[in-house]
């Protein structure tokens, strides 16, 4: 539910950025009568279409809607969501349930993170499948939307640069079109590294915002993992294909485990030993270190 307002913001921005230049350039001269302005139906279709880039027309399938396929996709989303919560509850939440009640050494925490790396990768794969495959394909089928390139073969990537470009094509295209190009061409002209860092920073902020509102507290996990770590490793180019792919997959698994472990420890730190009245200070102050025993 919290992703919905962010999705609407991104779609609205794309729509305005596409239509505004037409409005600004429009005059009453005869040659401008050929300028196309979308109808309400175009905008409504864009709101539900599985894309973040506005176009006046999209490739459309002529076949009938396969309602059985749509139902199967939604059932997979429901079943996958249950499996996702079951995995989180039986691994990360169970391992850190007593955080703040009994001592946890750094070695014990590290061991739990390493042990849960497999489950971290499993949750990552589930999230990708449920959102980028099942959910988006269901809406693509209902709207006869034919451009279904929602992701590429990111699991064959040998470096993070390709992984970030292929694992989520829907968001990547929006970030490249409206964030990277704007920074590279207007804000900080001809500076690719700074434009790239801007994309990582803005993306991390939105991720942290969504998760923070969902869990009820702020802890800059995505700023650390995506902005600091992700932007650095995206510049690394491993010399060997096999080594690069193994490093990528294991670091994704380990990173997911670290992020879920951090959120779990912060949650139980607030529940077990740092209960306070809700306030802005309480929301933004991490308790994971002050509650560490």
- Candidates 13, 42, 133, 207; catalytic one: 207
Helix axes 3-25, 192-215, angle to 10 degrees: 140
DSSP letter assigned to residue 64: P
- Which neighbouring-strand residues pair with 99? 102
Helix (H) or strand (E) holding 223: none
Q: Phi first, then psi: give them for residue 184, nearest 5 degrees.
A: -70, -35
**Is residue 128 within 8 Å of residue 167, measured between CB atoms?**
yes
Is 42 marked active-site? Answer: no
Give the burial class of 54: count Cβ atoms within 10 A of its Cβ; 0-12 exposed, 13-18 middle, 19 or more buried: buried
What are the start-end ranges of the H helices in the chain? 3-25, 40-48, 67-88, 94-95, 106-115, 117-128, 136-142, 160-166, 169-175, 181-182, 192-215, 221-222, 231-233, 241-272, 280-284
Across-strand partners of 60? 145
Q: Which residues are catalytic?
A: 207
């Amino acid at each position: 539910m919290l992703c919905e307002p962010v999705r609407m913001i991104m779609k609205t921005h794309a729509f305005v950025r596409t239509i505004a230049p037409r409005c600004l350039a429009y005059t009453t001269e005869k040659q401008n009568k050929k300028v196309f302005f979308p109808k309400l139906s175009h905008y409504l279709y864009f709101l539900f279409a599985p894309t973040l880039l506005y176009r006046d027309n999209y490739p459309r399938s002529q076949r009938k809607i396969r309602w059985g396929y749509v139902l199967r996709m939604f059932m997979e989303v429901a079943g996958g969501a249950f499996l996702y919560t079951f995995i989180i509850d039986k691994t990360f939440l169970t391992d850190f349930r007593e955080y703040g009640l009994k001592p946890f050494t750094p070695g014990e925490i590290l061991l739990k993170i390493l042990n849960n790396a497999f489950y971290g990768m499993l949750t990552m794969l589930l999230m990708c499948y449920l959102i980028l495959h099942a959910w988006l394909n269901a809406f693509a089928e209902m709207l006869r939307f034919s451009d279904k390139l929602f992701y590429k073969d990111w699991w064959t990537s040998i470096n993070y640069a390709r992984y970030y470009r292929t694992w989520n094509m829907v968001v990547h295209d929006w970030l490249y079109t409206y964030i990277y190009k704007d920074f590279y061409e207007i804000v900080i002209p001809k500076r690719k590294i700074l434009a790239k860092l801007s994309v990582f920073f803005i993306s991390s902020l939105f991720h942290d915002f969504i998760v923070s509102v969902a869990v009820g507290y702020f802890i800059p996990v995505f700023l650390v993992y995506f902005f600091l770590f992700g932007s650095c490793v995206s510049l690394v180019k491993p010399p060997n294909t096999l080594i690069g792919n193994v490093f990528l997959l294991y670091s994704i698994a380990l990173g997911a485990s670290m992020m879920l472990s951090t959120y779990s420890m912060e949650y139980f730190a607030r529940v077990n030993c740092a209960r306070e009245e809700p306030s802005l200070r309480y929301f933004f102050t991490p308790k994971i270190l002050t509650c560490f025993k």
